[in-house]
Amino acid sequence: MCHTDLHIVEGELAAQKYPITPGHQIIGTVEKPGRGADRFGPETRVGVPWLYSTCGECEFCRRGEENLCPNARFTGLHADGGYAEYMVVGQDFAYPIPEAFSDAEAAPLLCAGIVGYRSLCKAGLQPGERLGLVGFGASAHISIQVARFWNCPVYVMTRSPAHRRHAEELGAVWVGGLEDQLPVELDRIIIFAPAGRLVPPALAKIRPGGTLALNAAYMTPIPEMDYSLIYGERIVRSVANATRRDGEEFLKLAAEIPVRTEIHPYPLSAANEALRALKESEITGAAVLEIELQ
């Protein structure tokens, strides 16, 4: 489950059709290949991410930026997703899943993991640099493991005491609130919370030439701020979706580390309760819906 699911369910991201089945971190086995589909045979375990399809012909697709394709369709927003027993996806937009992960362990890797990885890359994080994470949900708890693998000290800013403890368990060198004084300036910060008001105080913690990446498909307005916060060639950039190449790179890296996802399973019938818990920041790690065929 993902915060983007919540934005779709609550109408902050409008689907093109209703009803729509949410869910875009999907693990399943191929029941039956469609006509002409030969990449995966029956019973092959595959994953389906947020990126459902692209046109393959526009300028963005041609230069490897398919995440920006104006005709892209997204799982659970434009096409029915994974809160269901069955779904259909094009073979070119599904991934083989490393055997190192169970179904439940692998599910959060398909958005929280992939988009978190893209955020690290778009932030320009280099081995050994100081990284800040604002918010510590499903994506951040995976991103910190990648950053630690790259020998980066990680500073976590979150309000939740449970999330602070979780960050410490995963190797954060400092935990606290965004309002607290850090002992050092940071090279890169990623904001995971969809709150524009967090941008100015986050910028105040970045060194000149550093980068602030916004990992959110939806964000509330960014308030007016003093130019001095961005002066010094600081960079603010959004992270928009992810490419298939991101997914392939990340899943290989996740198996190498190996990434360990903290999961909280719910039955499909409790999806609304899980969404409420997600909204109230009651989940440490990632919520996973477990679906049994009848």
| Residue 127 is assigned to a structural domain of this protein | yes
Residues 140 and 153 in one domain: yes
Of the three residues 223, 238, 253, the one that is the final residue of a domain is: 238
Residues 29 and 103 in one domain: yes
Residues 102 and 122 in one domain: no
Q: Which residues contact 243 (CB under 8 A, 6 or more apart)?
A: 51, 64, 65, 66, 67, 118
* pLDDT score recorded for residue 294: 65
| Residue 95 is assigned to a structural domain of this protein | yes
Residues 131 and 215 in one domain: yes
Render the burial of 230-244: b for 16+ CB within 10 Å, e for the rest: beeebbbeebbbbbb
Cβ–Cβ under 8 Å, residues 34 and 88: yes
* pLDDT score recorded for residue 285: 86
| Residue 65 is assigned to a structural domain of this protein | yes
Helix extents (H) in 49-152: 59-62, 103-106, 112-122, 138-149
Residues 95 and 165 in one domain: no
What CATH number is attached to the domain comprising 57? Answer: 3.90.180.10
Give CA–CA dist 155/182, Å, rounded: 8
| Residue 254 is assigned to a structural domain of this protein | no
Q: What is the pLDDT of residues 57-98, one digit of tens each?
A: 999 999 999 999 999 999 999 999 999 999 999 999 999 999
Cβ–Cβ under 8 Å, residues 222 and 101: no
Residues 118 and 94 in one domain: no
Q: Provide the domain count of the chain.
A: 2
Helix extents (H) in 179-233: 199-203
Give CA–CA dist 240/163, Å, rounded: 25
Give CA–CA dist 288/60, Å, rounded: 33
Q: Which residues contact 212 (CB under 8 A, 6 or more apart)?
A: 123, 188, 189, 190, 191, 199, 202, 203, 206, 234, 235, 236, 237
Residues 119 and 64 in one domain: no
Give CA–CA dist 231/229, Å, rounded: 6
Burial of 101 (0-12, 13-18, 19+ CB in 10 A): buried
* pLDDT score recorded for residue 216: 87
| Residue 24 is assigned to a structural domain of this protein | yes
| Residue 252 is assigned to a structural domain of this protein | no
Cβ–Cβ under 8 Å, residues 20 and 226: no
Given a cut of 50, the residues of the chain with pLDDT beneath it are: none
Residues 120 and 28 in one domain: no
What CATH number is attached to the domain comprising 192? Answer: 3.40.50.720
As given in the structure block, the two tokens for residue 86 are 């069955």
Residues 130 and 165 in one domain: yes
Show the beta-strand stretches assigned E in the chain. Answer: 26-29, 45-48, 51-53, 73-74, 95-96, 131-134, 154-157, 174-176, 186-191, 206-214, 235-238, 263-267, 286-290
| Residue 253 is assigned to a structural domain of this protein | no
Instruction: Estimate the crossing angle of helix 138-149 against helix 161-169, to 10 degrees.
Output: 20
Residues 128 and 211 in one domain: yes
Residues 138 and 217 in one domain: yes
**Which residues constitute the domain of residue 82?**
3-108+261-290
Query: Distances from the Cα of 280 to the Cαs of 93, 140, 214, 284, 285, in angstroms?
Result: 32, 17, 21, 11, 13
Residues 64 and 121 in one domain: no
| Residue 42 is assigned to a structural domain of this protein | yes
Please state, as a whole number, how many other Cβ atoms lie within 10 Å of the Cβ of residue 154: 23
